[in-house]
Amino acid sequence: MPLLSIVIPVFNEVKTIREILGRIQAISVDKEIIVVDDGSSDGTDKILRDLRYDNLKVIQHTTNRGKGAAFLTGLSHARGDLVIIQDADLEYSPEDYPKLLSALQKEGAELVLGARFTYGYSGLYLHRLGNRFLTGLLNILFGVRLNDFETCYKLASRNTWQELNLTGTGFNIEAEIVCNALKKKKRILEVPVSYHPRTYKEGKKIRWGDGLLVIFYLLKYRLADS
């Protein structure tokens, strides 16, 4: 099994970071864990300093630079042949790694997306509608039929990640990854994953204004030169 690099952008996740790392450690795959603390101010950094895992690498951003910037920092330190993005908020289950890896290794995918909405959805209604609209817009722009391009779970080989030439520093990186992969004719497969959405009261960070930015970036990446 190739080494899997798990890149975790983290910003103020003091309540969940210890649990998500423990669950990742329990997954039986050859892995390294790269946590990029993106300027947390809630004590997340202290927990990370106290953890002692041989396969854990912690990188600190002194200021909050955004999810995309944190992921790209982690990617630059990855040693694995395969790289996946993992959020720290417990919405996604590391127990889904094996089926994502299977799609990449056995089904010829170059980019695997963990689709949240194929098993039903029990979270925020407006969030679901927003995701449908944005994914529908991407489908129209690129002539494809994806279910959930905004998912956190994106898995590819390190070589593929490098070929995508990513520059996004914020949440726009989610759109940039898929748009660039489509423009480069990468084979994308979606695999259903479990999803446990948290509320804004519990710390969810995505707001409706972010959706407007996604529309802007979808149009920008579609019109940009390949």
Determine the average pLDDT of the residues in 97-113. 95
Determine the average pLDDT of the residues in 8-28. 97
> If you average pLDDT over every residue of the chain, what do you get?
91
Q: Which domain holds residue 95?
A: 4-223
What's the pLDDT at 197?
A: 83
What backbone torsions phi and psi does residue 59 show, to the nearest 5 degrees? -120, 135
The Cα–Cα gap between 162 and 67 comes to 17
pLDDT at 216 over 80: yes
pLDDT at 37 over 70: yes
Determine the average pLDDT of the residues in 137-154. 96
Total number of residues shown for the chain: 226
CATH number for the domain spanning 113: value is 3.90.550.10
The Cα–Cα gap between 123 and 121 comes to 6
Please give the model's pTM, rounded to 2 decimal places: 0.92
Residue 121 banded pLDDT, cuts 50, 70, 90: low
Instruction: Calculate what percentage of the chain has a pLDDT beyond 90.
Output: 81
Work out how many domains the chain is built from and give that number.
1
pLDDT in tens, 187-205: 999 999 999 886 656 555 5
